[in-house]
Structure 1
């Protein structure tokens, strides 16, 4: 398993915008370097990408939650 961690503090979003579908859902396949969410810091958005290819097992934070550097955002089962 691979943990996707927050690189910075901010607000985590699973969607590119409120009216769009989430980048990825629990159970979806993900590729290495695929965008799984965004972190907003002072109106600046940074992409959060998967470090590994596999299946997104689960998000560990909810859409709109505050995150800090090193917080686990999601878990990917590799393979």
Structure 2
């Protein structure tokens, strides 16, 4: 199995859920499909969805809900199905 790294495309604030009272998009151990939303990056009230380009199992998140992030920063690692 290979690992796929989800990186932040821009600077901002990382969110693991769509709203404060909602569940996380995904958690470590969850299986995700290619194209699944796993988080959001917010910049000046504009929210960009972060998706997994590969399907597989989420091994870990490297940023928590509300953490500031920089472009290229590792946010999550997914063990791919391929």
Given the two structures, how large is their TM-score scaled by the length of structure 2?
A: 0.94
Q: Which runs of 5+ in 1 are unaligned?
A: none
Counterpart for residue 74 of structure 1: 76
- In structure 2, distance between residues paired with 1:77 and 1:53: 8
Corresponding residue of 1:19: 21
Separation (CA, whole Å) in 2 of partners of 1:29 and 1:38: 18
Q: Deviations over 1:20-73 (max 9, x none)?
A: 000011100011111000110001101000121100000011111011110010
Aligned equivalent of 2:34? 32
| Equivalent residue, structure 1, for 2:51 | 49
* Partner of residue 59, structure 1: 61
Count of aligned residue pairs for this structure pair: 79
Structure 2 CA distance for aligned equivalents of residues 75 and 60 of structure 1: 8
In angstroms, what is the RMSD of aligned CA positions?
A: 0.6
Moved over 3 A (4+): none
Segments of 5+ residues of structure 2 without an aligned counterpart are: none
